[in-house]
Amino acid sequence: MPDWIAHILVAWTIGTILGFKFKQFNSANIALFIVGSLVPDIIKITMLFGYLGIGLSKFFIPLHTPIGSLIIATIFSFFFKEQRIALFFLIGGMFTHYMLDLLLFDINGGIYLLYPLSWNQYQLGLITNYDFNITVLSIIISFTVYLISNKIHKRQLLKHKT
Ligand SMILES: [Zn+2]
| Cα four-point dihedral sign 19, 12, 43, 40 | positive
Q: What is the DSSP letter of 114?
A: T
| Number of domains into which the chain is organized | 1
Question: Are the beta carbons of 96 and 11 closer than 8 angstroms?
Answer: yes
Per residue in 24-42, pLDDT (tens digit) is 999 999 999 999 999 998 8
* Mean pLDDT for the stretch of residues 75-99: 96
User: Which of 20-29, 80-89, 136-145, 152-161 has the weakest average pLDDT?
Assistant: 152-161
Question: Are the beta carbons of 45 and 59 closer than 8 angstroms?
Answer: no
Domain that holds residue 93: 4-161
CA 99 to ligand 1 centroid distance, Å = 9
Report the pLDDT value the prediction gives residue 54, as an integer from 0 to 100.
Answer: 65
Cβ neighbours, 10 Å, residue 13? 21
CA 94 to ligand 1 centroid distance, Å = 9
Report the pLDDT value the prediction gives residue 1, as an integer from 0 to 100.
Answer: 45
CA 40 to ligand 1 centroid distance, Å = 6
Q: pTM to 2 decimals? A: 0.85
CA 1 to ligand 1 centroid distance, Å = 4
CA 108 to ligand 1 centroid distance, Å = 12
